[in-house]
Each structure stands twice: as C-alpha cells, then as structure tokens.
Amino acid sequence: MNTSTLANQNQFSKKKYAWSGRFSEPVSELVKNYTASLKFDKRLAHCDIQGSLAHAEMLSTQNIISIEDLRNIEKGLNQIILEINNDTFSWKIDFEDVHLNIENRLIELIGDAGKKLHTARSRNDQIATDMRLWIRDEIDDLTNLLNKLLCVLANLSLEHADVIMPGFTHLQVAQPITFGHHLLAYAEMFKRDIYRFKDCRKHMNYLPLGSAALAGTSFPIDRYRVAKNLGFDGVCQNSIDAISDRDFIIEFCAVASIIMTHLSRFSEELIMWLNPQVNFIDIEDQFCTGSSIMPQKKNPDVPELARGKTGRVYGHLISILTVMKSQPLAYNKDNQEDKEGLFDTVDTIRSTLIVFTKMMQCIKPKSYNMRLAALKNFSTATDFADYLVKKGLPFRDAHEIVSKVVYDCEKRGCGLEDLTKDEMKKYHSKIDDDVRNILTLEGSIFSRNHVGGTSPERVREEAKAILKQHYSVDT
C-alpha cells in the first residue's frame, strides 16, 4: 500500500469510528458484522441515556465540563430520546453498538459539547452501568407480575379452601389435602422467588461508572453523586471488578431459572389434572387449543409451553456462566455475549408469568372428582395409626396394626370405613366407634389445624396473609 492510499484510509477510518485513529485500514465488513452488538443492545438505549445524563451532570458540577456544555448535552440527549421513541432515530451498524450510535448522533446534533460527554468514562463502565439499570427495572416489573400471580393463587385458595383432593407422594395417593393448601404450596415458592429477586437487586445496586476502562480515572469525579442520581445504594468499590464481572446477570438468570422450575412443576400438574383420566380441573377453552386431526381434543398448550420454555431459560443461565468462567480480568469482548440470553430470559419469564396468571384465573376445580380420588388408596390410614397412638400405643405398633387392616381390606376389596365396629375391634381392643370420624376425609383435614397444615382454616389464614402482604394496586 503506498503512502497516499494509507493516508486516505486513515482519513476514512478516523472519520468513521470513534476508536479508529490508530488503524491503517477500515475494519472488514465481515468483522464489523461479527463484532457489532447494535441489533440487540439498542434495547438498552434508555438506560444508556439515563446513565449519560447523570454522568454529564456530575462532570459539570465538578467543573470538568461547563454548564453550557451540560445544557447542550441534555438538550441533545432528550432529542435523541424523542427520536428513539418515535422510531426516527437512524441506527447505524457502522457505529457498532448503542453507546457509539447515541454519542455520534449527539455530536451530530450539538457539535463539540457532544464530544466531551465521554470524558472520565469508558464504554466498559458505561455498559456495566446500563446493564444494572436495565435489570433493576426488569426485576421491579417481574416482581409485580409475581405479586399478581400470588394474589390469584391466594384468591383461588380462599374460594376453594374446603375442596378436598388427594395429596400425593411418589405420585401415589398419600393423604387427603385441601385444594387451597396445594395451591399455596406454589405461592410459597413464588414468595421466595420475590425475595430472591430482592436479594439479587440489592447485590447489584452499586454504580460502576467512574471505573472507566478498568483502572479508574484521573479526573476529579464524584461517583456518589452519580450513584444517588441513578438510584444506586452506593458505588462499586473496585474498578476492575466493576467493569468486568457479570455475576449479577448470572444471579438474575439463576433466579429466573428457579421461577421457571416452579412454573414448570405447576404446569406439569395442570396438564395431569386436565387429563380426562384424572379430570380434576376445568380450564376455559381460550387457554387450550384443538388438534388439526382429532376433533375431540382439547390440549393444554399453555402449561405445556411454559414447561417447554423452561429449557431455554436454563440454557441462558449455563450460557452466561460459561461466558464468564475463563475470562481473565478485566474487560473482554466475551462480555458482549451477556445480552441476548438475558433479554430472552426476561421476555420468556414475563410472557409466561402473564399468560400463566391469566390462565390460573380461569381454573375451576372439579371437587367431586377430587373427592372420589381422595377416597381411594386408604388415604386416611395415617389418621388411623395416629388414632391408636392417641389411645396409648407406640407409633410403630400402631403402624403395623393399620398395615394389617389395609392388607385385609385390599384383599376384600373394601375401604377402611366399610369395616364394622366388631371387625375393627378384632385388630385392637382400643379401637372404638370414634374411629369412624377419624377415617373420613373431613376428619383428616380438619385435624391438621396447625401452622402450615392443610385444614381449611389454616389455608384461609395463609391466603389472607398473602393478599395483605402482596396485594399490588394494579392486580
């Protein structure tokens, strides 16, 4: 390449890229397309501008830029917000990412003042800040959605606190429980998910700006001012860590994965309950789909998809863990891979929570079928054993006696409640007529009236507590 071509190239590249001054030839189209993050990171635009506004405000109060420069920057950035909102902003892949697109447009709009915005800042602390701001908003929104789901579950539990169904272990009928109690088991899981989001938010709510590329900056910045303006609880204490770690994204994806696990388990049960052989619930037609070949089918596509989508959320968690695992300090371009999986995670849990919550509002338990199923498989055998213990027998002996009764009933093809008083007496002299009530489904559930137990009274109490604590205005 002769000197004049080189000079031309340099001129071209200097004009084109914020960083291209030291380059002798423009970046190849192939590399440009491979490395650009614009098509997905433009989603961060509003957070990016929010961070820039706070940074510029601080630069001016610290006399690093003038007040006029600040006013121009504010005017320019506000204009850019409008353009983005109206879809008139012209995104250019040549400018690689959201940060450089906005900065270049700012310079186009306000000239030299725009060139000063990046003082005491790097795209490394900028992106670390944008990501935190973005996730923080999403956590707040998703928490609201979890609250709504909790309220729907609590209302459903209140309404059906007396409905009895079989409780399962090993998917075998184990003991009678109330439908409300079963639903509130999921409510407990979602309550913990809300606390997990709270913790995750707390861990990441520190400001990276001021860390610049990795080592901090020589300008007399005021990081606490920026932190306060952006609603952070403090500032990151180590500039190298601040710009390089993405553990907050890992944590977020882990919480999201746990939420999807809960939704997936719930979905699995709904699918089972909707199976005509089980037939425990009805769900409005609007949440089901038909088959293109079998006219009789009503398929539970929503819970099936919720169960299926769990896979991609787990995948994104593994993906971000893997992105981080071999990176030396400090910033590496690998980190750019933190975004698409995160965005998809948020989109997936948001849409799943919304549709799942709506669907739960349309669930009707079929109490007769549930009751019939609960009457099967000697579901009150434990109550029988407990009865004998209360009459003075050691639990192990009581267990053995009831096993024998169950064995005999099974052979005769009858239930415990079908035995006469005399037949009962043969198993132990302490068995009396009062055992009858103990062996009923109601006897069983009403006796479990302690905190965390299945009795309707406790279910109502817990449901009300959830409504009181988690009710959100827009539920």
- Where along the sequence are the contacts to ligand ARG (CB under 6 A)? 37, 41, 97, 123-124, 127, 331, 333, 335-336
| 8 A C-beta contact, residue 285 and residue 311 | no
Token pair in block for residue 249: 């994204």
CB nearer ligand ARG, residue 301 or residue 334: 334
Query: In the complex, what is the shortest distance from the CB of residue 133 to ligand ARG, in angstroms, rounded to a whole number?
Result: 14
Cis, peptide link before residue 330, omega less than 30° from 0: yes
CB nearer ligand ARG, residue 52 or residue 264: 52
Residues 322-351 as b/e (b if ≥16 CB within 10 A, e otherwise) read ebbeeeeebbeeebbbbbbbbbbbbebbee
CB nearer ligand ARG, residue 117 or residue 194: 117
Known catalytic residue at 291: yes
**Angle, vertex CA 426, rays to CA 421 and CA 430, nearest 5:** 75
d(CA 277, CA 275): 5
CB nearer ligand ARG, residue 214 or residue 278: 214
Known catalytic residue at 170: yes
Query: In the complex, what is the shortest distance from the CB of residue 34 to ligand ARG, in angstroms, rounded to a whole number?
Result: 13
From the candidates 170, 218, 429, 450, give the one annotated as an active-site residue. Answer: 170
Strands 281-283 and 363-365, by their bridges, are antiparallel
Query: In the complex, what is the shortest distance from the CB of residue 248 to ligand ARG, in angstroms, rounded to a whole number?
Result: 14
Residue recorded with tokens 């121009």: 72
Nearest residue to ligand ARG, by Cβ distance, number only: 336
CB nearer ligand ARG, residue 118 or residue 123: 123
Closest C-alpha to 130, from 37, 237, 256: 37
Report the C-alpha dihedral over residues 219, 223, 225, 231, rounded to 10 degrees. Answer: 150
Residue recorded with tokens 């349309």: 362
DSSP line for 322-381: HHHHTPPSS--GGGGGGHHHHHHHHHHHHHHHHHHHHHHTTEEE-HHHHHHHHHSTTTTH
d(CA 17, CA 31): 14
Query: In the complex, what is the shortest distance from the CB of residue 375 to ligand ARG, in angstroms, rounded to a whole number?
Result: 60
CB nearer ligand ARG, residue 37 or residue 147: 37
CB nearer ligand ARG, residue 64 or residue 342: 342
| 8 A C-beta contact, residue 103 and residue 117 | yes
* Beta-ladder partners of 207: 235
From the candidates 24, 66, 291, 403, give the one annotated as an active-site residue. Answer: 291
Cis, peptide link before residue 373, omega less than 30° from 0: no
| 8 A C-beta contact, residue 311 and residue 344 | no
Query: In the complex, what is the shortest distance from the CB of residue 167 to ligand ARG, in angstroms, rounded to a whole number?
Result: 49
CB nearer ligand ARG, residue 95 or residue 387: 95
- Would you report the helix, strand and coil content of the chain in percent, each value rounded to 5? 65, 5, 30
d(CA 358, CA 152): 9
Query: In the complex, what is the shortest distance from the CB of residue 41 to ligand ARG, in angstroms, rounded to a whole number?
Result: 6
Query: In the complex, what is the shortest distance from the CB of residue 213 to ligand ARG, in angstroms, rounded to a whole number?
Result: 7
Query: In the complex, what is the shortest distance from the CB of residue 47 to ligand ARG, in angstroms, rounded to a whole number?
Result: 13
* Beta-ladder partners of 281: 365
| 8 A C-beta contact, residue 197 and residue 189 | no
Residues 446-461 as b/e (b if ≥16 CB within 10 A, e otherwise) read bbbeeeebbbbebbbe
Q: Which residues are catalytic?
A: 170, 291
